[in-house]
Structure 1
Amino acid sequence: MEPAETPRTAGPAPGVPAARSAAGADALDRAVWRLRSRGCWDDAAALLEPHAAGFPPYAIRRAALLVERCMFTATGWAAAEDALRAAEALAGDNDERGAAACERGQLAYAATVLGVRDRADEARSALGRAAALLAPAAPGRPMLDFRRGLMAEHVADSPDSARAAYRRAHAGATAHGDALLLSFTWRHLAGLALRDGELAEARHGFAESLRIREELGFLVGTAPALVALADAAPPEEAAGLRAEAARLFRLMGGVPAWLAEHLADVPVAPAPS
């Protein structure tokens, strides 16, 4: 599916006072990333909660974590809604309002594609609002482009529009150094290539997505990347990839939940020695 945010290492978040900047903000970012990358979204959100009450960037990050939890687990909808409302109330400029609207659209998209409730109109409206608020060069624009691609592909069934949006997101993620988002754009562009029968292009994109996730230590997103690569791999390689995906999936407690149907009959690979 898709991410909510990416790890940052380039200094304190906007709006962080000097007393909590630099080393303190970096340490918080690292702790949040460690928890998030292992699927511990509630714990990561709890670390941000003391900072979120007065600072919109932290409130938006906290909401994004809980929205991502919904996508990966199909649970926690009420907590995500509460966090989003708090972030929307705090947002003070167009970038913050646009980022909050982008998360609102993502939550509605997740509810729609996971079959919880059809909120497609709400998703379109929120993402359109984000597009009106975020400048073309804004840091949040690549994520918005990616999410509009998801809507085009999985809700509107418009692969050409999805491909164009993913390419914009890919270029923006490259420009902003957003490695995790790149892993998602590689994967979804590869999925469209596979759909068109472009096997070599699909394999390359899926392999890049997996490589980035392994380098970042994004454990919770590694099993889906393995399954995606298996879909484009020769049968003798695909079996091993799916077995390793099943091992990781069970290690993560059945997360992401939507992967279960793809791995139900796959034997678990032995843990590496």
Structure 2
Amino acid sequence: MTSKILFSLCCIAAVCFMMSCKKDPPPEPEGIITGNVIVYDSTGTALTDHSGVIVTIDSLGLKDTTDASGAYNFNEVAAGTYNFSYSKAGYGTYRIIGQVHAGGTQATELPDADVGQIYYGPLVDYVTYMGFGSPDNHQIYPYALFLAPMQVPTAFVLYFGVNGPSKTDFVTSTRDYLPTNDYPTEYFNFNKEIDPGIIYGDTTLLNADGITFSLAFDNPRDIHYVDEQGRFIYPCTSPILGYFTLHSSTFTPPGGGRVKAASSAKAGREISLRARHQ
């Protein structure tokens, strides 16, 4: 009996010794990350000098600055999944989200990052909307009047929000590009109505007390990325030029027809208005 107890104790001691000698898992392999940045002016034209863009690995706080060719690199970065930010004064901050870095001897080469200059444009007189058609079948368009001519080409982003005007707290957005403009102090594009399918296809917008539409200039280059929430982000937009708020029932449902009698009457009243917003 005593020998059995001693044998059991020896086995336990041996197991404990083996566990204590177990090596820690090896560290994640380190490696090089490289990439290239293309810098654009406010008209969307690529510059010849792409230097001065600060590239940051967000979670690590590591930074590098691009040279004239737009190149940058990071050495000895542990394997992992990282987000990168690209910033320069006067330019929109571009991001690359969820980039996998394997580490090891093979360098990770990131896709090109586009960094565009922000176009602030002339002073705006007001931003509102225009409606055409009947209460049961109509189209609604954003409209803006400026105090001086805009540059050509130019572009706009319209943000759809439910908590007031914002370029960060929004549900979705649309973009419009104007290669020419016969009325350089006005923004109105008859081919770019506010798509009711977006509103009726999103329960947050459809059920909101009001939808705020905020208008901003954008760089003509169409620089964008998809953020962690799956939204299209246009980083080169100006501050909000103005906004207007409408209820979802103002919009004709896809396929036409009435939403309900009360909503149809409300739509008829609202599309006849041109509310002025500074």
> What TM-score do you get using the length of structure 1 for normalisation?
0.24
Which is strand-richer, 1 or 2?
A: 2
Q: Which has the higher contact order (CA 8 A, sep 6+)?
A: 2
> What TM-score do you get using the length of structure 2 for normalisation?
0.23
Larger Rg, first or second structure (1 or 2)? 2
Which is helix-richer, 1 or 2?
A: 1
